């Protein structure tokens, strides 16, 4: 009989602290990490690189099924090229959220995401981890925060890297991306019925991590 692989699903909009929490829980549990947004971003990178039309569903699906990307501890590699920082741009995020509305593209990326669920367990970060990809996850967390709070955090992060950032533009980009993620027909962004929703607008990331650690101990590691 195959052994149960514990899964912790973390969903929510961009800039809400999912990545930091996912990394924290990965370190705490020793589980594997799936950054599903990075898969959508790598696909967006490939689509731009190959000059694919973003409405060309067949070409996007073909690329999604054969996506030549590798995730290793030191970064993301596309046909051997390190694209870790290139996929973090707002442009690639915008393309990723545009092609993520296409149901056939989402289905084509399903097997690749599911393959991350191996022992000793998985922390999966995304938009539809608890609703679609891992509906039987042992623990589902859904993080929220207002678009304004998330934009402020993003500006701070960019400034700390010496990048000049315009708060109005970033707020607008975040809202446009939220709109697409919430309103798409395929796997719209919403908490699973059995998800625990944590509003991080007025919580430090340390408090969010502490809260999540307690839940993981109670609901995942105790079974
Ligand atoms: O999480 P991240 O900001 O890297 O994701 C980039 C885009 O990929 C999101 O705005 C979203 O449209 C899409 N995405 C998705 N489903 C996921 C992860 C990301 O649709 N599970």
Nearest ligand 1 atom, CA 40: 8
Structural domains of the chain, ranges and CATH numbers in brackets: 1-29+120-217 (3.40.50.300), 32-119 (3.40.50.300)
Nearest ligand 1 atom, CA 93: 6
pLDDT tens digit sequence for 150-187: 999 889 888 888 878 899 999 998 999 899 889 989 88
Ligand 1, atom 13: closest residue by C-alpha: 97
Supply the pTM of this predicted model: 0.93
- Measured from CB, residues less than 6 Å from any atom of ligand 1 are 14, 36-37, 40-41, 93, 96-97, 100, 126-128, 177, 181
Q: How are the residues of the chain apportioned to helix, strand and coil, as percentages rounded to the nearest 5? A: 50, 15, 35
Confidence of residue 192 (pLDDT cuts 50, 70, 90): very high
Q: How close is the Cα of 189 to the center of ligand 1, in Å?
A: 10
Q: How close is the Cα of 218 to the center of ligand 1, in Å?
A: 29
Nearest ligand 1 atom, CA 113: 21
Which H or E element spans position 88?
Answer: none
Task: Tell me, rounded to whole angstroms, the distance of Cα 195 from its chain centroid.
Answer: 16
- Distance from C-alpha of 38 to C-alpha of 161, rounded to nearest angstrom: 20
């Amino acid at each position: 009989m195959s052994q149960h692989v514990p899964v912790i699903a973390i969903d929510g909009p961009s800039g809400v602290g999912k990545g930091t929490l996912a990394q924290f829980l990965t370190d705490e549990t020793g589980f594997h990490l799936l950054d599903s947004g990075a898969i959508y971003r790598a696909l967006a990178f490939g689509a731009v690189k190959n000059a694919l039309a973003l409405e060309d569903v067949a070409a996007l699906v073909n690329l999604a099924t054969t996506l030549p990307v590798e995730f290793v501890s030191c970064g993301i590699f596309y046909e051997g090229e390190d694209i870790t920082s290139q996929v973090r741009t707002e442009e690639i995020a915008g393309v990723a959220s545009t092609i993520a509305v296409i149901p056939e593209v989402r289905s084509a990326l399903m097997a690749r995401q599911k393959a991350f669920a191996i022992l000793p367990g998985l922390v999966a970060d995304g938009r539809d981890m608890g609703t679609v990809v891992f509906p039987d996850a042992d623990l589902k967390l859904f993080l929220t925060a207002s678009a304004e709070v998330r934009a402020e955090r993003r500006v701070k992060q960019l400034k700390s890297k010496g990048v000049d950032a315009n708060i109005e533009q970033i707020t607008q980009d975040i809202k446009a991306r939220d709109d697409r993620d919430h309103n798409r027909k395929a796997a719209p962004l919403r908490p699973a019925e059995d998800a625990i929703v944590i509003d991080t607008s007025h919580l430090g990331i340390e408090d969010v991590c502490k809260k999540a650690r307690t839940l993981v101990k109670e609901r995942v590691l105790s079974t």
